Structure 1
Amino acid sequence: MKYSKIIIPVGIIIIFSIVIFATTNQESKTMEVEDILDKEVRQNEDSNPEIESKLDEIEKINLENEYTPKEREWITSGPFQIDRSEYVLGEKIFLRMGGLGFDEKGQIVFLRPMNSTHYSVYFTIPFDGSEKSAFNYYLEPQLSKRNGYCSVDAFIGDWRVVFRGTDYPNLEFKINEKILPGEEEDYQPVC
């Protein structure tokens, strides 16, 4: 009993000291963090005019190069459709086919312009209504040294989509000289 009268007050003093120490230590850490954050905010407020000028220049370039894709138009020939009449380099050409007859079989041929009167086959997609009556396909013209597509000039112009093995009329679309923002590096000459 004699020891309990001493141990209880000493225990209370130790617990009280730990709580005060923890609270004091926590407050000082919080103040240090707040001081650092406040310092960073003040540095941003006192920005360098040269940095501000560069940021304004970048924003101006971004506004000039702002890209908004054309609305989808869904140009149709029988069960075949493409989503637009005009694309920029780097945009995917979306082809969808739906409702193909069981006996319809042939090839979808993408023809790229060689000049104002001649075309060459760029890509061919076979189709067979007895196997699939509907499917979607994305096509993105890309430069290729192996295939002889050395520069963007190989793609710019009026393209045609021909449906071999059918009587469906051709579809036409244009690829213009603009490049999708962020894709410029993919369209540097390769030959």
Structure 2
Amino acid sequence: MEHVSNKVIIPITGVIIAIIAIAVVMINFEQPETMEIEDTIDREIQPVEETTPEIQEKLDEIKKINLENTYSPKDREWITSGPFQIDRSEYLLGEKIFLRIGGLDYKEKGQVVFLRPLNITHYEVYWSIPFDGADKPAFNYYLQPQLSKIKGYCSVDDFVGDWRVVFRGTDYQNLEFKIIEDILPGDENNYQPVC
């Protein structure tokens, strides 16, 4: 009987040794989860060789374009007629016209009407804003003239010129402002002809 059990023990020992050998091999081939990173903190950046004339010409051209396109809005002037104010006397195409209404009397009711120029002597209603002092004695409003094929505003020529702001239902004097043909940088695509 001893002879039979030795035959069984030898194959089991062989299997155990094979499992241990496979485990050792797998542990040695396992990839670490960390990576080596090159240390560049103490290295100096080496300057590139001199700029070629072609590259310098392009750099100068870009600098010139950036200087031409710098934009800063004009200071607000607050042109006033009674409780009505607009923030400037001149706007670029694309700039918002800021209307500020404050201190309307309880009985004051009417419309603020923006008139765009048709020619030197004639105007057309572009936009009207109702007001009622009993409802709201103060509020602000932004207006930005925009091209519209549906409304018939086809090109910048429909906006450039001397505008008027009329206060229907009141005796307040009209306000005047001008829209010039310069376009707010970045808004050029919004003022391509649409008709």
TM-score band by shorter chain is 0.7 to 0.9
Q: Closer, same or farther in 2 for the Cα pair 1:63/1:30, shift >3 Å?
A: same
Q: Specify the code of the residue in structure 2 equivalent to 1:173.
A: F
Partner of 2:49: 46
Which residue identity is paired with 1:190?
V
Quick one: distance in 2 between partners of 1:114 and 1:61? 34
Partner residue, 2:176: 172
| Equivalent residue, structure 2, for 1:99 | 103
Query: Which residue of 2 is the match for residue 12 of structure 1?
Result: none
Q: Which runs of 5+ in 2 are unaligned?
A: 1-33
Where do 1:71-150 residues align within 5 Å? 71-150=75-154
Matched residue, 1:161: 165
1:65 is the counterpart of 2:69 = yes
> Percent same amino acid among aligned pairs?
70
Structure 1 equivalent of residue 29 of structure 2: none
4+ residue runs over 4 A deviation: none
CA distance in 2, matches of 1:110, 1:98: 18
Correspondence for 1:30:
38
Normalised by the length of structure 2, the TM-score is: 0.77
1:165–1:59 distance in 2 versus 1, CA, 3 Å? same
Corresponding residue of 1:15: none
Counterparts of 1:59 and 1:73 in 2: how far apart (Å)? 32
Larger Rg: 2
Aligned-pair CA distance for 1:64: 1.9
Q: For structure 1, list consecutive stretches of 5 or more residues without a partner in the other structure.
A: 1-24
User: Which digits, 9 at most, give the CA deviation of each residue in 1:114-148, with x for residues without a partner?
Assistant: 00000000000000001000000000000000000
Q: CA RMSD in A?
A: 2.2
For residue 137 of structure 2, give the secondary structure of its aligned residue in structure 1: coil
SS in 1 for 2:176: strand
The whole-number CA distance in structure 1 between the counterparts of 2:62 and 2:156 is: 26
1:46 & 1:105 partners in 2: Cα distance? 72
Task: Report the TM-score when normalising by structure 1.
Answer: 0.78
The structural deviation recorded for 1:34 is 5.4
What is the Cα deviation at residue 58 of structure 1?
Answer: 1.2
- How many residues of Structure 1 are paired with residues of Structure 2 in the alignment? 162
Give the letter aligned to residue 49 of structure 2.
D
Corresponding letter in the other structure for 2:175: L
Against the structure 1 CA distance between its residues 51 and 159, is the aligned structure 2 distance closer, same or farther, given a 3 Å change threshold? same
Structure-2 separation of matches of 1:81 and 1:47: 56
